[in-house]
Amino acid sequence: MPWKECHVVDERLRFIARLLDGEKMAHLCAEFGISRKTGYKIYDRYKDCGAEALTDRSRRPYRYANRLPPVVEQAILRLKRTYPTWGAAKIRERLRGELPGLRCPAVSTVHAVLDRHGLVTPRRRRRYRAAGTALSQPTQPNELWCADYKGEFMLANRRYCYPLTITDFASRYLLACDALSTTAEAYAFTAFERAFREYGLPRALRTDNGVPFASAHALYGLSRLAVWWLRLGIDIERIRPGHPEQNGRHERMHLTLKLEATKPAAGNLLQQQARFEAFQTCYNRERPHQALGMKVPGERYAPSPRPYRGLPSLDYPLHDWTATVTTCGRICFKTRKVNLSQVFAGQAVGVRQVDDHIWLVTFMHYDLGYFDDETCRLEPIENPFRARVLPMSPE
């Protein structure tokens, strides 16, 4: 049997017809699934206007309290056609001079008028593209650590293992080799914190541009892990995408790790971790290294003189105020929200006024970008971490 179609106007007509036949209002409202208030409203409309009152009425408001006057809207459109390259901010300033007696609309309102009439050309925001950094060649331990995930492999229990490895560049010392079940940054935090507590802090860390070391969609390609390293005073070096040879010493260690500790794979993560620990001891204390003059890495390495003591506090005495970035990556400015990036969630940033309606946002001693107090949209500047991320740059 096909579905029986009904229309809301037909239902109202049946409701009124049965009501006029003498049926009770309460019984009809319960049967039609409406409140008695709605039933009496439909009945009153029918008495006032007849059957035409049973059709749907427009829900458009009678008036708009903050609607822009037509003369102002026409002036905005006229100025845009006269100066097609001008944006909303410049048009607003020109409008303020032409109509001094009227309240000037906000920049966002001017932009909305232009957008509504198809006079705004969307501007594509520049997406961060990883390009690598200058790479140092230190000769002393703890000047540079290298980190990477060796390619995942399947264990005997058909679960994948993702080995996270950390080495010292100068001495080739294998600082950590953790069998992880995922590349999620939460597990990487734990592995790096354990290494920092045991060996101290390096001057710099070299990684590729993959997660969790970097993030292609975050501000300046940073990740939460990279922000944590910056807070600890660790510089960041990144190899160029598609050039693993720039981290060649670390990749060569991965080949030895693969041959000696993963073939065949262990039964589970705990058993595989026991293999990695045995390999780490052998690699650091027993296996001669040809590039070290047939010495073992343990003879060349010594812990860092910079101990790990957690994150230092952030203060901005030269700024107007300090804001804490929310979990969604924003800071609160009066009643507005300014989007930064989720990688800064929980971090304190400084905000300082540098010009009329223009504010500068700073993280540590790095300037992130500017925003105006009307649009509250952050405009990033050129990578502020360049001086730190490229410590050996000749520029």
d(CA 201, CA 137): 18
pLDDT-derived band at 386 (thresholds 50, 70, 90) equals low
The band of 265, judged by pLDDT with boundaries at 50, 70 and 90, is very high
Tell me the three state secondary structure of residue 11: helix
User: What pLDDT shows up at residue 356?
Assistant: 83
* pLDDT at residue 1 greater than cutoff 80: no
| Per-residue b or e along 194-222, where b marks 16 or more CB atoms closer than 10 Å to that residue's CB | ebbeebebbbbbbbbbbebbbbeebbbbb
DSSP 8-state assignment for residue 294: S
Which pLDDT tens digit goes with each residue over 286-338?
999 998 999 999 999 999 999 999 998 999 999 999 999 999 999 998 888 99
Q: Bridge partners of 129?
A: none
Rounded CA-CA distance 234/384 in Å is 15
| Contact status, residue 169 vs residue 138, Cβ threshold 8 Å | yes
Residue 389: its pLDDT value, please? 42
CA distance linking residue 259 with residue 263, whole number of Å = 6
Both ends of the chain: CA-CA distance in Å? 80
Average pLDDT over residues 384-395: 45
Beta-carbon contacts of residue 221 (< 8 Å; ≥ 6 apart): 128, 130, 209, 214, 215
**Pairwise CA distance, residues 292 & 149, whole Å:** 24
How many residues does the structure list for the chain? 395
Angle (nearest 5°) at CA 327 between 322 and 331 = 35
Residue 368: in which H helix or E strand, if any? strand 366-372
103/118 Cα distance (integer angstroms): 24
Task: Summarize pLDDT for 370-385 with one digit per residue, the tens.
Answer: 998 878 888 888 776 6
Is residue 132 within 8 Å of 239, Cβ to Cβ?
yes
Arithmetic mean of pLDDT over the chain? 88
Q: Which residues contact 88 (CB under 8 A, 6 or more apart)?
A: 107, 108, 110, 111, 114
DSSP code of 75? Answer: H
Distances (CA, A) of 215 to 204, 234, 362, 384: 19, 18, 20, 16
pLDDT in tens, 205-223: 999 999 999 988 888 889 9
For 389, phi then psi, to 5°, come to -70, -25
Q: What is the pLDDT of residues 93-120, one digit of tens each?
A: 888 888 777 778 888 888 889 988 888 8
pLDDT of residue 336: 86
Residue 123 is predicted with a pLDDT of 66
Select the more confidently predicted residue: 267 or 97.
Answer: 267
CA distance 255 to 265: 15
Neighbours of 18 (CB within 10 A): 15
Q: Give residue-wise pLDDT tens across range 339-367.
A: 999 999 999 999 999 988 889 999 998 88
pLDDT 10s digits, 269-279 = 999 999 999 99
Q: What angle do CA 275, 276, 280 make, to 5 degrees?
A: 120
pLDDT tens readout for residues 21-76: 888 899 889 988 899 999 899 888 888 888 777 787 777 777 666 678 888 889 89
For 21, the 3-state DSSP assignment is coil
For the chain, the farthest-separated pair of C-alpha atoms sits apart, in whole angstroms, at: 107
d(CA 340, CA 337): 10
Rounded to an integer, what distance in angstroms lies between the CA atom of residue 159 and that of residue 153?
8
Fold for domain 145-300?
Answer: Nucleotidyltransferase; domain 5 (3.30.420)
Confidence at 395, pLDDT banded by 50, 70, 90: very low
Q: Which residues pair with 371 in a beta bridge?
A: 359
**CATH number belonging to domain 70-116:** 1.10.10
Q: Tell which residue, 240, 217, 196, 167, has the closest CA to residue 342.
A: 217
Q: Residue 313 in 3-state DSSP?
A: coil
Mean pLDDT of 222-240: 94
pLDDT digits (tens, 9 = 90+) for 168-193: 999 999 999 999 999 999 999 999 99
